A and B are shown apart, each in its own frame.
Chain A
Amino acid sequence: MNTSVISRAPNQSFSLADRLIRVHIDLWLLLLLLVLGVVGLLVQYSASGHSMAVVMNQAERLGIGFAVMVVAAQAPPEFYRAAAPWLYGFGVVMLFAVLLLGDHAKGAQRWLDLGVLRFQPSEILKLAMPMAVAAWLHTRSLPPKLSTILITLAIIGGPTVLIAMQPDLGTAMLVLAAGVLALYFGGLGIRWILAVIVAMAAAAPLLWLKLHDYQKNRVLTFLDPERDPLGTGYHITQSKIAIGSGGLFGKGWLAGTQAKLDFLPESHTDFIFAVYSEELGLLGEAVLMALYAAIVGRGLYIALRGQDSFQRLLAGSLAMTFFIYVFINMGMVIGLLPVVGVPLPLVSFGGTSAVTLLAGFGMLMSVYTHRKLLSN
């Protein structure tokens, strides 16, 4: 690959992919994300009860997201490495601000109202976390030694705890995953990984005591959804009914009954995968799954092509975090995981997460398209 790039004269480009690389865009990621976005809009239309308003609203947000992605791709990886500590620091300050001044929404303090703009500082950390960990490990020799690991854990732990305190368990888990994944890609010893798993298992009872009632309920309901079929178990029971009744081929686009007749709650946000499954069946899911796998795969490929530790760790973390997103959402919708508020990336209704995710893909594109011709 490197040789082909070298052999090519600066102004000679033969393919669309090559031409796009010059404007720092990865054709494959772009295409896959666009397809995913369109699929998302189609499901939105059905889940929202044929509301063009919802679809246009989401399309607008996706549009902003894609614009952000393209802009983000223009900055070189070095910029992100340099910006990492600042963004991370800014994010942490904002998290403190949220805890002190934030708005309450659905019983949790997540939003910060800046007058003109209401946003969730925890979203910043979704990007700032892998950037910061990658930038920090970039300065160390890898695999990391004990002191490096401990400092890294501190970098990861701080914001995670702050977000969990809001409380926003879903985002806390994603931010934690982003940091830990960067550390993992940095070469964290297998013994360490096992130790973390054991520590987490040991801490589970303590964590249980710290959980809010609604969080405890989610876990209990996850273990036995029929425990409270009209209350907390209702979501998951109705979701399973929607998916199961979809069968192999599904009921057809717009023909699902569970969402249309309001049996399925949160049908166009967190539980949109149930709507998709009911209408498009197992075959439709296979297509969606393949789409996500291809995006993750492309992300990991870009990570492999990264030219320094920062680029590799950042790209690897972003790609895998995206996968974790998908896994947690699908896992909770099909009843494999407790219900935590994690949307299905780029398909669920919601602008903030889509913009953040696409900004992350912008960084991936930046890593891929800013490679120096003569690396190594």
Chain B
Amino acid sequence: MSALGSSRSGFDAIKNLYEEKRTFTGRVVFAAILCLLMIGLIAARLIDLQLVRHDYYSTRADDNRMRLTPIAPVRGLIYDRNGTLLAQNLPSFVLDITPERVRNLNDTLERLKAYVRLSDQDIARFKERMRKGPRYRSVTLRSNLTPEEVARYQLNRFDFEGVEVNAGLVRDYPLGESAAHVVGYVGGISEADYAKLEAADYEGLSQIGKAGVERSHEDLLRGAPGTKIVEANAAGRPLRELESRPGSSGQNLYMSLDAQLQLVAEKALGDLDGAVVAIDPRNGEILALVSKPGYDPKLFVEGIDAASYRGLLEDKSRPLYNRALLGTYPPGSTIKPFMATAALNFKTVTPDTAIYCSGSMTLPGNSRKYRCHKRQGHGSVNLDSAIAKSCDIYFYQAAMNLGIDRIDEILGQFGFGKPTGVDVPNEKGGLLPSKEWKRRVYKQVWFPGETLSLGIGQGYLTTTPLQLAQGTARLAMRGLGFKPHVLHAIADQATGAISGVAPEALPALTGQSTDLQERVIHAMQLVTMFPGGTAYRAFKDAPYSSAGKTGTAQVVGLKQDEKVAPTFDSTPKHLRDHALFIAFAPVDAPRIAIAVIAEHAGHGGSVAAPVARQIMDQYLLGKVLYDADPAATAAAAAAAVADPALEAEEGVPADDEEPPPATPPPAATPR
């Protein structure tokens, strides 16, 4: 219709007004219809978005704005068996900085130094953490502010935009160094830790158990993180809390340790390097576990600085090294009761078999001399006197008669040569050599002479203090045994219910007659209770019965041609002998079994036995504040009672011919 206009070319001035108006009206109507169509198009799209796909977009909108923020659980406390705190969470004032709110960071840090102690270390660590996180998240600059620092800061806080003092919890170990090797410590979660753990369990947590019980019972102590749903903006900054689901606190743990006993044991060891393990033989609970020197676990909680850590690592006395579990020492003469048990078991000796000790012996076809520590010899010795005086010749003979295979069988049953499975991380199994082992490692056959060395706890044989204590506990229990452990009871923080940890019984020694075991124990009693025993002086006048065995383990062998052993004082410290002692008490109803090792300290009888005496005095006589524990011990005690005591009085006769004053000084036991 509109194209008609072109026919009137040349007459533009003459306009057909009516036609124009009509055309225009048509155009307006058409435009209006077009508008309605377009509105319809938009409406259709809006209906699709807002009605049909509303749920989908609602979810996307919520996903946009909602953020899950973890709530860190409060870590469980660690107590000793009597409720003394070993690990706790202390409120601590921390100084936090929110980087995005600070205008000039370096200037702020510099000015803060006037009020708060800040080391370069603190600042370096802060900057490191700051780089990792978003700028709106606050980063801790310092923890454990003193009240004075908090007060000084608060007075001037108006000068510090973006800096604030917050309250937090910091792990603390009240006994400090004393129980560090058992309790352990927590520290920052490392990359290696992250690779192993379930990330969901550590939401909001920055620390993890790194050593000791803190590590082995991490799962009990940690608790479960909660979550908080917060609304966050597009930059991720949380703006308000929408919902909070609290997690659960970790469980409180009661250790079998007796803190007082632990302190006494530590003190008894004095300045010596070494280890003490005390076990309740009735259930395998570890009562004290000392490894000296120790370290301060607090150093690790805040993050140890490189220099201090290097210092600890390079310290010659190795304070971080848990000697009780990791130290593998030749047991020396402390192996003799176990060896005697084996010999009696296989009837290679009878309790009354007498052997003549001339001070040395040789094997047929070999000129090598195997010496007794007593050069002039003990004369005729039987089981009692051989143990009481620690005659080496007797045990050379006993070992030779037994042979390596039978020795392995019995010592293996006592737990030597393999880890005990205690619930403290990092434990060594020591070494119980065998023919097979020798072949595998040295590609050599087993020599009879090596069996002889084994008889007096030298040679390849090594044990940890914990293994020695466990073995002693089994001797005390007349062959019964329990897996050593430190977890005594678990207290649920939510319900308050306390559940004891049942002892785990180990298979009893095979083929041991009670009679013969009592004979070994009787001999051990002579060591501590009768004049002439190697630990008699240490246990003199003890009001309880006890049984023990001293040991002096050679660090360096004496050369064959060396006639006279070097004197103790003339030997460099790191070459001096280790002093060992094992004991249990009371004899008829044992409640404690102890192994003591003092490195490079000389004689078991004079150095290690007094340590054990002090521990036993404390445990059996001291101001013991608790009574034996719930169900767990009852069951174990019942098992122990099944084997009624031997007559302590009856064993009195001192069948020791010559009562030498405590063991002669230089005790280098040759191979």
Which A residues are closer than 8 A to B by beta carbons?
139-146, 148, 181, 184-185, 187-191, 238, 240-248, 257-258, 260-263, 277, 281-282, 285-286, 289, 293, 296-297, 300, 303-304, 309, 312-313, 316, 320, 323, 327, 330-331, 334-336, 376
Q: Which of B32, B51, B58 contacts A245 (CB 8 A)?
A: B58
Residues 27-54 of chain B, each 1 if its beta carbon lies under 8 Å from chain A, else 0 = 1100110010011011101110111011
Residues A257 and B5 in contact, CB atoms below 8 Å apart: no
Residues B5 and A245 in contact, CB atoms below 8 Å apart: no
Residues B31 and A320 in contact, CB atoms below 8 Å apart: yes
Residues B60 and A241 in contact, CB atoms below 8 Å apart: yes
Interface check B355, CB cutoff 8 A: no
Q: What CA separation (Å) do A304 and B31 show in the bound complex? A: 12
Task: Report the nearest B residue to A190, measured CB to CB.
Answer: B2
Q: What CA separation (Å) do A376 and B32 show in the bound complex? A: 25
In the complex, chain B residues whose CB is within 8 Å of the CB of A312:
21, 24
* Interface residue stretch chosen among B8-16, B74-82, B427-435, B450-458: B8-16
Q: What CA separation (Å) do A162 and B50 show in the bound complex? A: 40
Instruction: Identify 4 new A-B residue pairs, CB closer than 8 A, beyond the known A141-B5, A257-B65, A277-B50.
Output: A146-B6, A187-B5, A261-B232, A289-B42
In the complex, chain B residues whose CB is within 8 Å of the CB of A142:
5, 15, 19-20, 23
Q: What CA separation (Å) do A334 and B60 show in the bound complex? A: 16
Determine the interface band of chain B, counting residues with CB < 8 A from chain A: 35 or more
Residues A247 and B42 in contact, CB atoms below 8 Å apart: no
Residues B46 and A143 in contact, CB atoms below 8 Å apart: no
Q: What CA separation (Å) do A242 and B46 show in the bound complex? A: 12
Residues B235 and A245 in contact, CB atoms below 8 Å apart: no
Q: What CA separation (Å) do A145 and B23 show in the bound complex? A: 14
Q: Which of A145, A188, A248 contacts B50 (CB 8 A)?
A: A248
Q: What CA separation (Å) do A144 and B7 show in the bound complex? A: 10
Interface check B57, CB cutoff 8 A: yes
Residues B35 and A243 in contact, CB atoms below 8 Å apart: no
Residues B28 and A300 in contact, CB atoms below 8 Å apart: yes
Interface check B564, CB cutoff 8 A: no
Q: Which of A139, A240, A258, A293 contacts B39 (CB 8 A)?
A: A293
In the complex, chain B residues whose CB is within 8 Å of the CB of A243:
46, 49-50, 57
Interchain residue pairs A-B with the least CB separation, the first 3? A244-B57, A143-B5, A245-B61
Residues B14 and A141 in contact, CB atoms below 8 Å apart: yes
What are 10 A-B interface contacts by the 8 Å CB criterion?
A141-B11, A141-B12, A141-B14, A143-B5, A240-B49, A241-B61, A277-B46, A277-B50, A289-B39, A376-B17
Residues B32 and A297 in contact, CB atoms below 8 Å apart: yes
Interface check B239, CB cutoff 8 A: yes
Residues A261 and B64 in contact, CB atoms below 8 Å apart: yes
Interface check B233, CB cutoff 8 A: yes
Q: What CA separation (Å) do A335 and B28 show in the bound complex? A: 28
Residues A143 and B57 in contact, CB atoms below 8 Å apart: no
Q: What CA separation (Å) do A296 and B50 show in the bound complex? A: 25
In the complex, chain A residues whose CB is within 8 Å of the CB of B9:
145
In the complex, chain B residues whose CB is within 8 Å of the CB of A286:
43
With contact pairs A143-B23, A261-B234, A263-B234 given, residues A281 and B5 touching in the complex (Cβ less than 8 Å): no
Residues B23 and A261 in contact, CB atoms below 8 Å apart: no
Min C-beta distance of B33 to chain A, whole Å: 11
Residues A187 and B23 in contact, CB atoms below 8 Å apart: yes
Residues B2 and A143 in contact, CB atoms below 8 Å apart: yes
In the complex, chain A residues whose CB is within 8 Å of the CB of B8:
141, 145
In the complex, chain A residues whose CB is within 8 Å of the CB of B166:
none
Min C-beta distance of B600 to chain A, whole Å: 67
Q: What CA separation (Å) do A285 and B14 show in the bound complex? A: 48
In the complex, chain A residues whose CB is within 8 Å of the CB of B31:
181, 184-185, 300, 316, 320
Interface check B3, CB cutoff 8 A: yes
Interface check B231, CB cutoff 8 A: yes
Residues A262 and B53 in contact, CB atoms below 8 Å apart: no
In the complex, chain B residues whose CB is within 8 Å of the CB of A297:
32
With contact pairs A142-B5, A243-B57, A300-B31 given, residues A282 and B12 touching in the complex (Cβ less than 8 Å): no
With contact pairs A243-B50, A263-B64, A282-B51 given, residues A187 and B233 touching in the complex (Cβ less than 8 Å): no
Residues A323 and B35 in contact, CB atoms below 8 Å apart: yes
Residues B50 and A257 in contact, CB atoms below 8 Å apart: no
In the complex, chain A residues whose CB is within 8 Å of the CB of B28:
185, 300, 303-304, 316
Q: Which of B38, B54, B56 contacts A327 (CB 8 A)?
A: B38
Q: What CA separation (Å) do A188 and B47 show in the bound complex? A: 36
Residues A247 and B65 in contact, CB atoms below 8 Å apart: no
Q: Which of B17, B35, B45 contacts A334 (CB 8 A)?
A: B45
Q: Which of A140, A185, A191, A281 contacts B12 (CB 8 A)?
A: A140
In the complex, chain B residues whose CB is within 8 Å of the CB of A289:
39, 42-43
In the complex, chain B residues whose CB is within 8 Å of the CB of A238:
64
Residues B5 and A240 in contact, CB atoms below 8 Å apart: no
Task: Report the nearest B residue to A285, measured CB to CB.
Answer: B46
Residues B234 and A262 in contact, CB atoms below 8 Å apart: yes
Q: What CA separation (Å) do A334 and B232 show in the bound complex? A: 25
Q: Which of A187, A293, A336, A376 contacts B2 (CB 8 A)?
A: A187
Q: Which of B2, B23, B46, B235 contacts A262 (CB 8 A)?
A: B235
Interface check B4, CB cutoff 8 A: yes
Residues A316 and B24 in contact, CB atoms below 8 Å apart: yes
Residues A282 and B2 in contact, CB atoms below 8 Å apart: no
With contact pairs A261-B234, A289-B42 given, residues A240 and B57 touching in the complex (Cβ less than 8 Å): yes
Interface check B510, CB cutoff 8 A: no
Interface check B25, CB cutoff 8 A: yes
Min C-beta distance of B618 to chain A, whole Å: 65
Residues B3 and A189 in contact, CB atoms below 8 Å apart: yes
In the complex, chain A residues whose CB is within 8 Å of the CB of B16:
141
Min C-beta distance of A296 to chain B, whole Å: 6
In the complex, chain A residues whose CB is within 8 Å of the CB of B51:
247-248, 282
In the complex, chain B residues whose CB is within 8 Å of the CB of A187:
2, 5, 20, 23-24, 27
With contact pairs A261-B234, A323-B35 given, residues A245 and B60 touching in the complex (Cβ less than 8 Å): yes
Q: What CA separation (Å) do A309 and B32 show in the bound complex? A: 19
In the complex, chain A residues whose CB is within 8 Å of the CB of B12:
139-141, 148
Q: What CA separation (Å) do A323 and B38 show in the bound complex? A: 10
Residues B50 and A282 in contact, CB atoms below 8 Å apart: yes
Min C-beta distance of B39 to chain A, whole Å: 6
Min C-beta distance of B236 to chain A, whole Å: 10
Q: What CA separation (Å) do A236 and B277 show in the bound complex? A: 71
Residues B15 and A141 in contact, CB atoms below 8 Å apart: yes
Residues B50 and A281 in contact, CB atoms below 8 Å apart: yes
Residues B43 and A316 in contact, CB atoms below 8 Å apart: no
Q: Which of A184, A190, A257, A304 contacts B61 (CB 8 A)?
A: A257
In the complex, chain B residues whose CB is within 8 Å of the CB of A240:
49, 57
CB within 8 Å of A: which B520-575 residues: none
Task: Report the nearest B residue to A319, measured CB to CB.
Answer: B31
Min C-beta distance of B542 to chain A, whole Å: 76
Q: What CA separation (Å) do A191 and B5 show in the bound complex? A: 14
Q: What CA separation (Å) do A148 and B5 show in the bound complex? A: 11
Task: Report the nearest B residue to A139, measured CB to CB.
Answer: B12
Residues A261 and B27 in contact, CB atoms below 8 Å apart: no
Residues B50 and A247 in contact, CB atoms below 8 Å apart: yes
Residues A191 and B3 in contact, CB atoms below 8 Å apart: yes
Q: Which of B15, B27, B51, B232 has the most CB of A within 10 A?
A: B27
Residues B54 and A334 in contact, CB atoms below 8 Å apart: no
Task: Report the nearest B residue to A188, measured CB to CB.
Answer: B2
Residues A316 and B27 in contact, CB atoms below 8 Å apart: yes
Q: Which of B14, B17, B60, B65 contacts A261 (CB 8 A)?
A: B65
Residues B54 and A247 in contact, CB atoms below 8 Å apart: yes
In the complex, chain B residues whose CB is within 8 Å of the CB of A143:
2-6, 23
Q: What CA separation (Å) do A181 and B45 show in the bound complex? A: 26
Residues B46 and A309 in contact, CB atoms below 8 Å apart: no
Residues B58 and A244 in contact, CB atoms below 8 Å apart: yes
Q: What CA separation (Å) do A187 and B14 show in the bound complex? A: 16
Q: Which of B5, B11, B39, B57 contacts A144 (CB 8 A)?
A: B5
Q: What CA separation (Å) do A142 and B26 show in the bound complex? A: 14
Residues 214-251 of chain B, each 1 if its beta carbon lies under 8 Å from chain A, else 0 = 00000000000000000111110001000000000000
Min C-beta distance of A7 to chain B, whole Å: 23
Task: Report the nearest B residue to A181, measured CB to CB.
Answer: B31
With contact pairs A141-B14, A297-B32, A309-B20 given, residues A263 and B65 touching in the complex (Cβ less than 8 Å): yes
